[in-house]
Amino acid sequence: MIQEYISLLAAAISFGTTALLGKKVIPWLHKLKYGQTIKDIGPKWHEKKQGTPTMGGIMFIAGILAAFLVCLPIYHHLQSMGRIASYYENQAYWLRMVAGILMSLLFGAIGFLDDYIKVVKKQNEGLTPSQKMILMMLIAGAYLLSIALMGDATVTTIPFLGDVDVHFWFYPISLIMIVGFVNAVNLTDGIDGLCSSVTFFTAIIFMMIAGMRHMFGMNIFAAAVAGGCIGFLVWNFFPAKVFMGDTGSLFLGGLFCAMAYSLNMPILVPLVGIIYLCEAGSVMLQVSYFKLTHGKRIFKMSPIHHHFEMSGWSEVKIVWSFSLITLIAGVIAVALTLFC
């Protein structure tokens, strides 16, 4: 099928652009001395990563955007000519996808500002939590407003129930979920290759669901994300030669949410993003338990990937294990989609 070849092209462009950019971007980041400042509260053995270039997320941002700019117009042109038939891809569908991409870029811009403060101003924490939260709430709110203007925004597809109008509750739940999961993806970026590996599998899962629902434009969208993640892993897998920084992780968090909302299935976000959920949940549990017990801890360190590190797991083992969990959760999500 033509759309499958376009998806492969999107993945190839995104992968190739991202991987090749590493040859230029990483030396450039070294030259600018944009090295990662390792937080004092992290595992002691992470100190050897001090100075590894960060803000590498610009590599896959460029790769994914290149794939979008080349492949989506080709697909849309073939669709308008009648070469590709899809019953779901109306104007609102395309506008929601574009809005999702713009939302992701804005989240990436927050990350870039945060990274800039860390690496140029040499301040470990970057933007304050309150500054980040306000900016992220504004961006997520603007995204939800944009899809509200497209009509039928509060109607979402739920397995076994079909299309359900959740009315007013769609907006506060979505606002909390988008901001929460973008932050959760950011927390997942704590060891070499973890965030890009997990996000690769989430993109593959959404790509499969898009194909099942005959949303082939979304299939291309997800293929581009998957290609960019693999292209970045060429440089980010253990031992990492570059980190994505908040520039990359907040962008990927936005894309993760955008893919689910473009499929009109935000109900799948907690399942497909189970690792992100566990990462954020472990931090909330740790902080709450610490305060309630006046100093006791549930985990050796949070987020939870650090707990496994402290328990003797290698970074590679954690990456493969978390990726496998994501894949298993994804298979369940794909199976549930059959009942929509």
Q: What is the mean pLDDT of residues 200-222?
A: 94
Is residue 49 pLDDT above 80, yes or no? no
Is residue 142 pLDDT above 90, yes or no? yes
Closest alpha carbon to 204 in 86, 328, 87, 103 = 328
Q: Against a cut of 0.85, is the pTM above it?
A: yes
CB 60 within 8 A of CB 232: yes
Upper half-sphere CA count for residue 161 (Cβ side, 13 Å): 10
Tell me the backbone φ, ψ of residue 296, rounded to 5 degrees: -85, 155
Q: Which one of 14-18, 27-31, 208-212 scores highest in mean pLDDT?
A: 14-18
Whole-number pLDDT of residue 165: 93
CB atoms within 10 A of CB 33: 10
Domain ranges of the chain: 87-215+231-337
The 3-class secondary structure across 90-115, one letter per residue, is: CHHHHHHHHHHHHHHHHHHHHHHHHH
Residue with tokens 């794909």, as numbered in its chain = 334
Q: What is the mean pLDDT of residues 305-332?
A: 97
Query: How far apart are alpha carbons 281 and 256 in whole angstroms?
Result: 18
**Segment 155-182, tens digit of pLDDT:** 999 999 999 999 999 999 999 999 999 9
Residue with tokens 């713009």, as numbered in its chain = 102
pLDDT band at 89 (very low <50, low <70, confident <90, very high): confident
Q: Which two tokens stand for residue 250?
A: 């907040």
CB 211 within 8 A of CB 80: no
C-alpha dist (Å) from residue 4 to 168, 225, 264: 37, 15, 21
Is residue 85 pLDDT above 70, yes or no? no
**Segment 212-265, tens digit of pLDDT:** 998 989 999 999 999 999 999 999 999 999 999 999 999 999 999 999 999 999
Least confident of 18-32, 111-125, 314-328: 111-125
Q: What is the mean pLDDT of residues 94-101?
A: 91
pLDDT band at 43 (very low <50, low <70, confident <90, very high): low
**Segment 312-325, tens digit of pLDDT:** 999 999 999 999 99
Tell me the backbone φ, ψ of residue 154, rounded to 5 degrees: -90, 0
Helix boundaries (H) for the chain: 2-31, 57-80, 91-119, 129-148, 170-188, 194-212, 216-236, 245-262, 269-272, 274-292, 304-310, 315-337
Q: Do you know the residue count of the chain?
A: 340
